[in-house]
Structure 1
Protein backbone atom coordinates (compact mmCIF):
# COMPACT_ATOMS: atom_id res chain seq x y z
CA UNK A 1 0.00 0.00 0.00
CA UNK A 2 1.41 3.38 -1.02
CA UNK A 3 2.01 6.00 1.68
CA UNK A 4 0.66 8.86 -0.46
CA UNK A 5 -1.58 8.78 -3.52
CA UNK A 6 -2.86 11.97 -5.15
CA UNK A 7 -5.37 11.84 -7.99
CA UNK A 8 -6.62 14.70 -10.18
CA UNK A 9 -5.83 17.35 -7.57
CA UNK A 10 -6.73 20.89 -8.59
CA UNK A 11 -6.42 23.97 -6.37
CA UNK A 12 -7.50 27.47 -7.37
CA UNK A 13 -7.17 30.89 -5.75
CA UNK A 14 -9.91 33.32 -6.80
CA UNK A 15 -10.80 31.00 -9.68
CA UNK A 16 -7.21 31.00 -10.98
CA UNK A 17 -5.73 27.45 -10.97
CA UNK A 18 -2.55 27.11 -8.92
CA UNK A 19 -2.37 23.33 -9.31
CA UNK A 20 -4.05 21.53 -12.18
CA UNK A 21 -4.84 17.82 -12.37
CA UNK A 22 -1.92 16.71 -10.18
CA UNK A 23 -1.35 12.96 -10.00
CA UNK A 24 1.39 11.03 -8.25
CA UNK A 25 2.11 8.04 -6.01
CA UNK A 26 5.13 7.91 -3.74
CA UNK A 27 7.00 4.81 -2.56
CA UNK A 28 7.39 3.87 1.08
CA UNK A 29 10.57 4.48 3.05
CA UNK A 30 12.05 7.09 0.72
CA UNK A 31 13.20 10.71 0.85
CA UNK A 32 11.20 12.52 -1.80
CA UNK A 33 12.02 16.00 -3.07
CA UNK A 34 9.27 18.27 -4.39
CA UNK A 35 11.14 20.42 -6.88
CA UNK A 36 10.04 23.36 -9.03
CA UNK A 37 10.38 27.11 -9.66
CA UNK A 38 8.96 29.88 -7.51
CA UNK A 39 5.19 29.98 -7.90
CA UNK A 40 5.00 26.37 -9.08
CA UNK A 41 2.61 25.39 -6.29
CA UNK A 42 4.96 23.31 -4.12
CA UNK A 43 3.79 24.64 -0.76
CA UNK A 44 0.21 24.72 -2.01
CA UNK A 45 0.52 21.04 -2.87
CA UNK A 46 1.51 20.10 0.68
CA UNK A 47 -1.22 22.25 2.23
CA UNK A 48 -3.88 20.81 -0.09
CA UNK A 49 -2.78 17.24 0.65
CA UNK A 50 -2.99 17.98 4.39
CA UNK A 51 -6.39 19.64 4.10
CA UNK A 52 -5.06 23.02 5.24
CA UNK A 53 -6.50 24.71 2.14
CA UNK A 54 -9.54 23.64 0.12
CA UNK A 55 -9.28 21.57 -3.06
CA UNK A 56 -11.27 22.45 -6.15
CA UNK A 57 -11.25 18.76 -7.03
CA UNK A 58 -9.28 15.57 -6.56
CA UNK A 59 -8.60 12.89 -3.99
CA UNK A 60 -5.80 12.28 -1.49
CA UNK A 61 -5.14 8.93 0.15
CA UNK A 62 -2.66 8.18 2.92
CA UNK A 63 -2.05 4.45 3.17
CA UNK A 64 -5.19 3.75 1.20
CA UNK A 65 -7.54 5.92 3.26
CA UNK A 66 -8.90 9.40 2.70
CA UNK A 67 -6.73 11.68 4.79
CA UNK A 68 -8.22 13.50 7.77
CA UNK A 69 -6.16 16.17 9.59
CA UNK A 70 -6.61 14.37 12.95
CA UNK A 71 -4.90 11.24 11.64
CA UNK A 72 -1.75 10.49 13.64
CA UNK A 73 -0.03 8.88 10.67
CA UNK A 74 1.14 12.24 9.25
CA UNK A 75 3.71 14.75 10.57
CA UNK A 76 4.15 18.28 9.20
CA UNK A 77 6.91 20.91 9.34
CA UNK A 78 5.65 24.24 7.92
CA UNK A 79 7.77 26.99 6.45
CA UNK A 80 9.56 28.79 9.26
CA UNK A 81 8.36 32.14 7.94
CA UNK A 82 4.72 31.15 8.45
CA UNK A 83 5.10 30.67 12.22
CA UNK A 84 4.46 33.33 14.88
CA UNK A 85 7.76 33.10 16.72
CA UNK A 86 6.69 35.78 19.23
CA UNK A 87 4.09 33.46 20.74
CA UNK A 88 5.01 33.09 24.44
CA UNK A 89 6.02 29.46 24.74
CA UNK A 90 9.22 27.51 25.19
CA UNK A 91 10.86 24.88 23.02
CA UNK A 92 9.65 21.90 25.06
CA UNK A 93 6.03 23.06 24.91
CA UNK A 94 6.27 23.44 21.12
CA UNK A 95 7.55 19.88 20.83
CA UNK A 96 4.82 18.60 23.16
CA UNK A 97 2.26 19.95 20.68
CA UNK A 98 3.37 17.10 18.46
CA UNK A 99 2.08 14.64 21.06
CA UNK A 100 -1.48 15.98 21.16
CA UNK A 101 -2.63 13.58 18.46
CA UNK A 102 -1.69 10.77 20.83
CA UNK A 103 -2.84 12.23 24.17
CA UNK A 104 -5.79 14.44 23.10
CA UNK A 105 -6.07 18.22 23.33
CA UNK A 106 -7.77 18.30 26.73
CA UNK A 107 -5.52 15.88 28.60
CA UNK A 108 -2.29 16.75 30.30
CA UNK A 109 0.85 15.13 28.86
CA UNK A 110 2.12 12.17 30.84
CA UNK A 111 5.71 11.67 31.94
CA UNK A 112 6.07 9.32 28.97
CA UNK A 113 4.96 12.10 26.60
CA UNK A 114 7.32 14.60 28.22
CA UNK A 115 10.20 12.14 28.01
CA UNK A 116 9.36 11.49 24.35
CA UNK A 117 9.42 15.23 23.65
CA UNK A 118 12.75 15.66 25.44
CA UNK A 119 14.22 12.76 23.46
CA UNK A 120 13.01 14.41 20.25
CA UNK A 121 14.82 17.61 21.27
CA UNK A 122 17.94 15.57 22.00
CA UNK A 123 17.84 14.05 18.53
CA UNK A 124 18.02 17.51 16.95
CA UNK A 125 20.67 18.77 19.39
CA UNK A 126 18.32 21.10 21.30
CA UNK A 127 17.97 19.35 24.65
CA UNK A 128 19.77 22.21 26.43
CA UNK A 129 17.23 24.72 25.08
CA UNK A 130 14.06 23.01 26.33
CA UNK A 131 13.12 25.95 28.61
CA UNK A 132 14.18 28.68 26.17
CA UNK A 133 11.46 30.91 24.72
CA UNK A 134 11.18 30.24 20.98
CA UNK A 135 11.52 33.96 20.23
CA UNK A 136 15.01 33.83 21.75
CA UNK A 137 16.22 31.08 19.42
CA UNK A 138 18.14 31.59 16.20
CA UNK A 139 16.54 30.69 12.88
CA UNK A 140 18.39 27.39 12.72
CA UNK A 141 17.46 26.55 16.31
CA UNK A 142 13.79 27.33 15.64
CA UNK A 143 13.85 25.00 12.66
CA UNK A 144 15.36 22.23 14.78
CA UNK A 145 12.59 22.68 17.36
CA UNK A 146 9.94 22.26 14.66
CA UNK A 147 11.69 19.16 13.41
CA UNK A 148 11.64 17.84 16.98
CA UNK A 149 7.89 18.53 17.10
CA UNK A 150 7.47 16.44 13.95
CA UNK A 151 9.51 13.63 15.52
CA UNK A 152 7.27 13.80 18.60
CA UNK A 153 4.28 13.10 16.35
CA UNK A 154 5.80 9.66 15.73
CA UNK A 155 4.21 9.60 12.27
CA UNK A 156 4.69 7.27 9.29
CA UNK A 157 4.65 10.01 6.62
CA UNK A 158 6.25 13.43 7.00
CA UNK A 159 5.69 16.57 4.92
CA UNK A 160 8.34 19.29 5.29
CA UNK A 161 8.07 22.69 3.61
CA UNK A 162 11.57 24.04 2.82
CA UNK A 163 13.24 22.90 6.05
CA UNK A 164 16.69 23.97 4.81
CA UNK A 165 15.83 27.61 4.12
CA UNK A 166 17.61 30.13 6.34
CA UNK A 167 19.69 27.61 8.29
CA UNK A 168 23.44 27.37 8.63
CA UNK A 169 25.55 24.56 7.19
CA UNK A 170 25.71 22.68 10.51
CA UNK A 171 21.93 22.73 10.86
CA UNK A 172 21.47 21.60 7.26
CA UNK A 173 23.76 18.62 7.90
CA UNK A 174 21.84 17.81 11.07
CA UNK A 175 18.53 17.97 9.22
CA UNK A 176 19.57 15.67 6.39
CA UNK A 177 21.03 13.23 8.92
CA UNK A 178 17.70 13.24 10.74
CA UNK A 179 15.78 12.69 7.50
CA UNK A 180 17.97 9.73 6.67
CA UNK A 181 17.36 8.30 10.14
CA UNK A 182 13.61 8.56 9.51
CA UNK A 183 14.02 6.83 6.16
CA UNK A 184 16.04 4.05 7.76
CA UNK A 185 13.13 3.51 10.16
CA UNK A 186 10.85 2.94 7.16
CA UNK A 187 9.28 6.41 7.28
CA UNK A 188 8.38 8.31 4.12
CA UNK A 189 9.47 11.96 3.95
CA UNK A 190 8.34 14.51 1.34
CA UNK A 191 10.36 17.73 1.29
CA UNK A 192 9.79 20.96 -0.63
CA UNK A 193 13.31 21.88 -1.72
CA UNK A 194 14.83 24.67 -3.81
CA UNK A 195 18.58 23.94 -4.01
CA UNK A 196 19.05 21.90 -7.17
CA UNK A 197 22.73 21.29 -6.46
CA UNK A 198 21.89 19.00 -3.52
CA UNK A 199 18.93 17.12 -5.00
CA UNK A 200 20.91 14.07 -6.10
CA UNK A 201 22.73 13.91 -2.78
CA UNK A 202 19.62 14.23 -0.63
CA UNK A 203 16.70 12.49 -2.35
CA UNK A 204 15.87 9.00 -3.59
CA UNK A 205 12.81 10.13 -5.51
CA UNK A 206 11.63 13.45 -6.95
CA UNK A 207 8.40 15.13 -8.00
CA UNK A 208 9.09 17.86 -10.57
CA UNK A 209 6.24 20.34 -10.34
CA UNK A 210 5.14 23.43 -12.20
CA UNK A 211 1.40 23.80 -11.65
CA UNK A 212 1.16 20.17 -12.71
CA UNK A 213 3.47 17.20 -12.30
CA UNK A 214 6.08 17.38 -15.05
CA UNK A 215 7.81 14.15 -14.04
CA UNK A 216 8.09 11.90 -11.02
CA UNK A 217 10.22 8.89 -10.20
CA UNK A 218 13.62 7.79 -8.88
CA UNK A 219 16.06 10.70 -8.81
CA UNK A 220 18.66 9.10 -11.06
CA UNK A 221 16.06 8.54 -13.78
CA UNK A 222 13.93 11.64 -13.36
CA UNK A 223 16.27 14.50 -12.42
CA UNK A 224 17.49 15.03 -15.99
CA UNK A 225 18.34 18.02 -18.16
CA UNK A 226 15.28 17.45 -20.32
CA UNK A 227 12.88 17.28 -17.38
CA UNK A 228 14.45 20.33 -15.75
CA UNK A 229 14.00 22.32 -18.97
CA UNK A 230 10.37 21.23 -19.04
CA UNK A 231 9.94 22.20 -15.38
CA UNK A 232 11.83 25.49 -15.26
CA UNK A 233 12.22 26.79 -18.78
CA UNK A 234 14.70 29.66 -18.53
CA UNK A 235 18.39 28.92 -18.55
CA UNK A 236 20.08 25.81 -17.25
CA UNK A 237 23.81 26.14 -16.82
CA UNK A 238 25.86 23.16 -15.65
CA UNK A 239 28.51 24.18 -13.18
CA UNK A 240 30.06 20.75 -12.87
CA UNK A 241 28.99 17.21 -13.55
CA UNK A 242 25.79 16.51 -11.61
CA UNK A 243 25.64 20.13 -10.35
CA UNK A 244 22.99 22.43 -11.70
CA UNK A 245 22.25 26.13 -11.44
CA UNK A 246 18.90 27.38 -12.63
CA UNK A 247 18.13 30.99 -13.52
CA UNK A 248 14.42 31.62 -13.85
CA UNK A 249 12.16 34.59 -13.70
CA UNK A 250 10.02 34.82 -10.57
CA UNK A 251 6.53 33.95 -11.59
Structure 2
Protein backbone atom coordinates (compact mmCIF):
# COMPACT_ATOMS: atom_id res chain seq x y z
CA UNK A 1 0.00 0.00 0.00
CA UNK A 2 1.13 3.53 -0.78
CA UNK A 3 1.92 5.74 2.23
CA UNK A 4 -0.31 8.41 0.71
CA UNK A 5 -2.79 8.31 -2.14
CA UNK A 6 -4.75 11.42 -3.11
CA UNK A 7 -7.36 11.30 -5.86
CA UNK A 8 -9.23 14.28 -7.34
CA UNK A 9 -8.80 16.48 -4.26
CA UNK A 10 -10.62 19.81 -4.51
CA UNK A 11 -10.61 22.45 -1.75
CA UNK A 12 -12.25 25.88 -1.75
CA UNK A 13 -12.24 28.87 0.61
CA UNK A 14 -15.28 31.15 0.43
CA UNK A 15 -16.16 29.81 -3.02
CA UNK A 16 -12.60 30.37 -4.30
CA UNK A 17 -10.96 27.16 -5.50
CA UNK A 18 -7.55 26.65 -3.87
CA UNK A 19 -6.92 23.08 -5.05
CA UNK A 20 -8.61 21.49 -8.03
CA UNK A 21 -8.60 17.79 -8.87
CA UNK A 22 -5.20 17.18 -7.30
CA UNK A 23 -3.84 13.67 -7.76
CA UNK A 24 -0.74 12.36 -6.04
CA UNK A 25 0.78 9.11 -4.81
CA UNK A 26 3.72 9.15 -2.40
CA UNK A 27 6.27 6.34 -2.66
CA UNK A 28 7.55 4.58 0.42
CA UNK A 29 10.74 5.68 2.15
CA UNK A 30 11.30 8.91 0.22
CA UNK A 31 12.00 12.52 1.12
CA UNK A 32 9.46 14.47 -0.95
CA UNK A 33 9.42 18.21 -1.57
CA UNK A 34 6.12 19.99 -2.22
CA UNK A 35 7.12 22.89 -4.44
CA UNK A 36 5.18 25.82 -5.84
CA UNK A 37 4.64 29.59 -5.67
CA UNK A 38 2.97 31.43 -2.82
CA UNK A 39 -0.76 30.82 -2.87
CA UNK A 40 -0.39 27.59 -4.84
CA UNK A 41 -2.15 25.52 -2.15
CA UNK A 42 0.85 23.69 -0.67
CA UNK A 43 -0.14 24.13 2.99
CA UNK A 44 -3.78 23.60 2.06
CA UNK A 45 -2.82 20.28 0.48
CA UNK A 46 -1.27 19.08 3.74
CA UNK A 47 -4.12 20.35 5.94
CA UNK A 48 -6.79 18.84 3.71
CA UNK A 49 -4.92 15.54 3.60
CA UNK A 50 -4.88 15.47 7.41
CA UNK A 51 -8.53 16.50 7.73
CA UNK A 52 -7.64 19.83 9.35
CA UNK A 53 -9.74 21.69 6.78
CA UNK A 54 -12.74 20.39 4.83
CA UNK A 55 -12.50 19.33 1.22
CA UNK A 56 -15.09 19.84 -1.48
CA UNK A 57 -14.40 16.45 -3.02
CA UNK A 58 -11.76 13.81 -3.42
CA UNK A 59 -10.41 10.66 -1.82
CA UNK A 60 -7.45 10.45 0.55
CA UNK A 61 -5.86 7.26 1.81
CA UNK A 62 -2.90 6.82 4.15
CA UNK A 63 -1.61 3.26 3.95
CA UNK A 64 -4.88 2.21 2.38
CA UNK A 65 -7.16 3.75 5.00
CA UNK A 66 -8.90 7.03 5.66
CA UNK A 67 -6.81 9.16 7.99
CA UNK A 68 -8.00 9.65 11.59
CA UNK A 69 -6.55 12.42 13.82
CA UNK A 70 -5.50 9.87 16.46
CA UNK A 71 -3.66 7.75 13.91
CA UNK A 72 -0.13 7.04 15.15
CA UNK A 73 1.04 6.39 11.59
CA UNK A 74 1.16 10.14 10.92
CA UNK A 75 3.43 12.87 12.26
CA UNK A 76 2.76 16.55 11.56
CA UNK A 77 4.93 19.65 11.96
CA UNK A 78 2.81 22.77 11.28
CA UNK A 79 4.01 26.15 10.12
CA UNK A 80 5.71 27.91 13.00
CA UNK A 81 3.59 31.01 12.41
CA UNK A 82 0.37 29.06 13.06
CA UNK A 83 1.36 28.12 16.64
CA UNK A 84 0.45 30.13 19.75
CA UNK A 85 3.93 30.47 21.22
CA UNK A 86 2.61 32.46 24.20
CA UNK A 87 0.81 29.39 25.53
CA UNK A 88 2.26 28.77 29.03
CA UNK A 89 4.08 25.48 28.61
CA UNK A 90 7.67 24.33 28.56
CA UNK A 91 9.72 22.48 25.97
CA UNK A 92 9.45 19.02 27.52
CA UNK A 93 5.66 19.23 27.79
CA UNK A 94 5.37 20.23 24.12
CA UNK A 95 7.47 17.26 23.04
CA UNK A 96 5.47 14.88 25.26
CA UNK A 97 2.35 15.78 23.27
CA UNK A 98 3.79 13.47 20.62
CA UNK A 99 3.26 10.58 23.02
CA UNK A 100 -0.47 11.07 23.58
CA UNK A 101 -1.34 8.75 20.71
CA UNK A 102 0.15 5.97 22.82
CA UNK A 103 -0.92 6.94 26.36
CA UNK A 104 -4.12 8.91 25.72
CA UNK A 105 -4.86 12.55 26.57
CA UNK A 106 -5.92 11.95 30.17
CA UNK A 107 -3.06 9.76 31.39
CA UNK A 108 0.10 11.36 32.71
CA UNK A 109 3.33 10.48 30.90
CA UNK A 110 5.45 7.90 32.73
CA UNK A 111 9.20 7.59 33.16
CA UNK A 112 9.53 5.76 29.83
CA UNK A 113 7.64 8.52 27.98
CA UNK A 114 9.79 11.23 29.55
CA UNK A 115 12.97 9.31 28.77
CA UNK A 116 11.94 8.95 25.11
CA UNK A 117 11.05 12.64 24.93
CA UNK A 118 14.47 13.60 26.27
CA UNK A 119 16.14 11.36 23.72
CA UNK A 120 14.22 13.15 20.93
CA UNK A 121 15.31 16.51 22.33
CA UNK A 122 18.88 15.27 22.28
CA UNK A 123 18.54 14.32 18.61
CA UNK A 124 17.56 17.88 17.71
CA UNK A 125 20.14 19.50 19.98
CA UNK A 126 17.63 20.85 22.52
CA UNK A 127 18.37 18.63 25.52
CA UNK A 128 19.44 21.61 27.65
CA UNK A 129 16.18 23.49 27.13
CA UNK A 130 13.54 21.11 28.46
CA UNK A 131 12.40 23.48 31.24
CA UNK A 132 12.43 26.59 29.06
CA UNK A 133 9.12 28.24 28.20
CA UNK A 134 8.52 27.92 24.46
CA UNK A 135 7.92 31.67 24.16
CA UNK A 136 11.54 32.22 25.25
CA UNK A 137 13.00 30.25 22.34
CA UNK A 138 14.30 31.55 19.02
CA UNK A 139 12.49 30.63 15.81
CA UNK A 140 14.99 27.91 15.01
CA UNK A 141 14.77 26.46 18.51
CA UNK A 142 10.97 26.41 18.34
CA UNK A 143 11.16 24.51 15.07
CA UNK A 144 13.53 21.96 16.60
CA UNK A 145 11.09 21.40 19.48
CA UNK A 146 8.27 20.60 17.06
CA UNK A 147 10.54 18.23 15.18
CA UNK A 148 11.31 16.47 18.46
CA UNK A 149 7.59 16.13 19.12
CA UNK A 150 7.10 14.58 15.68
CA UNK A 151 9.99 12.19 16.29
CA UNK A 152 8.42 11.05 19.54
CA UNK A 153 5.31 10.01 17.61
CA UNK A 154 7.45 7.43 15.78
CA UNK A 155 5.16 7.76 12.77
CA UNK A 156 5.55 6.06 9.38
CA UNK A 157 4.73 9.15 7.33
CA UNK A 158 5.53 12.75 8.24
CA UNK A 159 4.04 16.00 6.93
CA UNK A 160 6.16 19.11 7.51
CA UNK A 161 4.90 22.55 6.56
CA UNK A 162 7.85 24.86 5.82
CA UNK A 163 10.23 23.48 8.49
CA UNK A 164 13.11 25.58 7.10
CA UNK A 165 11.25 28.90 7.20
CA UNK A 166 12.92 31.50 9.42
CA UNK A 167 15.68 29.23 10.75
CA UNK A 168 19.42 29.81 10.69
CA UNK A 169 21.85 27.82 8.56
CA UNK A 170 22.88 25.55 11.44
CA UNK A 171 19.26 24.65 12.20
CA UNK A 172 18.50 24.00 8.54
CA UNK A 173 21.49 21.68 8.33
CA UNK A 174 20.36 19.85 11.49
CA UNK A 175 16.81 19.50 10.17
CA UNK A 176 17.82 18.04 6.81
CA UNK A 177 20.16 15.59 8.56
CA UNK A 178 17.25 14.49 10.74
CA UNK A 179 14.95 14.08 7.74
CA UNK A 180 17.53 11.95 5.99
CA UNK A 181 17.78 9.79 9.10
CA UNK A 182 14.01 9.27 9.00
CA UNK A 183 14.31 8.28 5.34
CA UNK A 184 17.00 5.72 6.20
CA UNK A 185 14.55 4.21 8.69
CA UNK A 186 12.07 3.70 5.85
CA UNK A 187 9.83 6.65 6.73
CA UNK A 188 8.12 8.78 4.12
CA UNK A 189 8.51 12.54 4.64
CA UNK A 190 6.61 15.26 2.76
CA UNK A 191 7.98 18.79 3.12
CA UNK A 192 6.57 22.10 1.91
CA UNK A 193 9.65 23.93 0.66
CA UNK A 194 10.40 27.28 -1.01
CA UNK A 195 14.11 27.40 -1.82
CA UNK A 196 14.45 26.10 -5.37
CA UNK A 197 18.24 26.16 -5.14
CA UNK A 198 18.28 23.33 -2.57
CA UNK A 199 15.55 21.10 -4.02
CA UNK A 200 17.90 18.78 -5.89
CA UNK A 201 20.18 18.50 -2.87
CA UNK A 202 17.43 17.77 -0.35
CA UNK A 203 14.72 15.71 -2.04
CA UNK A 204 14.41 12.33 -3.81
CA UNK A 205 10.97 13.16 -5.15
CA UNK A 206 9.10 16.37 -5.83
CA UNK A 207 5.49 17.37 -6.27
CA UNK A 208 5.13 20.57 -8.31
CA UNK A 209 1.86 22.19 -7.31
CA UNK A 210 -0.05 25.26 -8.42
CA UNK A 211 -3.74 24.74 -7.62
CA UNK A 212 -3.41 21.44 -9.48
CA UNK A 213 -0.62 18.90 -9.76
CA UNK A 214 1.80 20.12 -12.44
CA UNK A 215 4.17 17.16 -12.16
CA UNK A 216 5.30 14.61 -9.60
CA UNK A 217 8.06 12.03 -9.55
CA UNK A 218 11.80 11.54 -9.01
CA UNK A 219 13.59 14.87 -8.68
CA UNK A 220 16.07 14.22 -11.48
CA UNK A 221 13.17 13.65 -13.89
CA UNK A 222 10.54 16.15 -12.71
CA UNK A 223 12.57 19.14 -11.49
CA UNK A 224 13.22 20.69 -14.90
CA UNK A 225 13.19 24.20 -16.29
CA UNK A 226 10.11 23.38 -18.38
CA UNK A 227 8.13 22.10 -15.38
CA UNK A 228 9.24 25.01 -13.23
CA UNK A 229 7.95 27.49 -15.79
CA UNK A 230 4.69 25.55 -15.97
CA UNK A 231 4.46 25.80 -12.17
CA UNK A 232 5.61 29.38 -11.59
CA UNK A 233 4.94 31.07 -14.90
CA UNK A 234 6.13 34.67 -14.91
CA UNK A 235 6.95 34.47 -11.22
CA UNK A 236 10.05 32.47 -12.11
CA UNK A 237 11.61 35.53 -13.70
CA UNK A 238 13.76 36.23 -10.65
CA UNK A 239 15.72 33.04 -11.30
CA UNK A 240 18.45 32.83 -13.89
CA UNK A 241 17.47 30.21 -16.43
CA UNK A 242 21.04 29.50 -17.43
CA UNK A 243 22.06 29.00 -13.80
CA UNK A 244 19.33 26.46 -13.22
CA UNK A 245 20.17 24.62 -16.40
CA UNK A 246 23.84 24.48 -15.40
CA UNK A 247 22.94 23.02 -12.03
CA UNK A 248 20.96 20.25 -13.71
CA UNK A 249 23.88 19.18 -15.91
Query: TM-score, normalised to structure 1's length?
Result: 0.95
Distance 1:117 1:135 in 2: 19
Report the equivalent of 1:47. Answer: 47
Within-5 A mapping of 1:85-234? 85-234=85-234
Aligned partner of residue 240 in structure 2, secondary structure: strand
Distance 2:206 2:62 in 1: 18
Report the equivalent of 1:5. Answer: 5
Report the equivalent of 1:33. Answer: 33
Deviations 1:185-218 (A, max 9, x none): 0000000000000000000000000000000000
Distance 1:102 1:211 in 2: 36
Indicate yes or no: 2:17 matched with 1:14: no
Runs of 4+ off more than 6 Å: none
CA RMSD of aligned residues (A): 0.9
Aligned partner of residue 24 in structure 2, secondary structure: strand
Distance 1:43 1:151 in 2: 21
Query: TM-score, normalised to structure 2's length?
Result: 0.96
Please list every run of 5 or more consecutive structure 2 residues that lacks an aligned counterpart in the other structure: none
Report the equivalent of 1:242. Answer: 247
Aligned partner of residue 81 in structure 2, secondary structure: helix
Instruction: Return the offset for 1:15.
Output: 1.2
Aligned partner of residue 242 in structure 1, secondary structure: helix
Distance 2:102 2:8 in 1: 32
Please identify, of 203-212 and 110-119, the stretch whose mean Cα deviation from structure 2 is larger: 110-119
Aligned partner of residue 54 in structure 2, secondary structure: coil
Distance 1:63 1:242 in 2: 35
Distance 2:107 2:60 in 1: 30
Indicate yes or no: 2:79 matched with 1:74: no
Distance 1:94 1:190 in 2: 22
Distance 1:95 1:66 in 2: 26
Instruction: Return the offset for 1:110.
Output: 1.3
Instruction: Return the offset for 1:237.
Output: 1.7
Distance 1:192 1:113 in 2: 29
Aligned partner of residue 28 in structure 1, secondary structure: coil
Distance 1:119 1:205 in 2: 29
Instruction: Return the offset for 1:69.
Output: 1.2
Please list every run of 5 or more consecutive structure 1 residues that lacks an aligned counterpart in the other structure: 244-251
Aligned partner of residue 53 in structure 1, secondary structure: coil
Aligned partner of residue 65 in structure 1, secondary structure: coil
Higher strand content, 1 or 2? 1
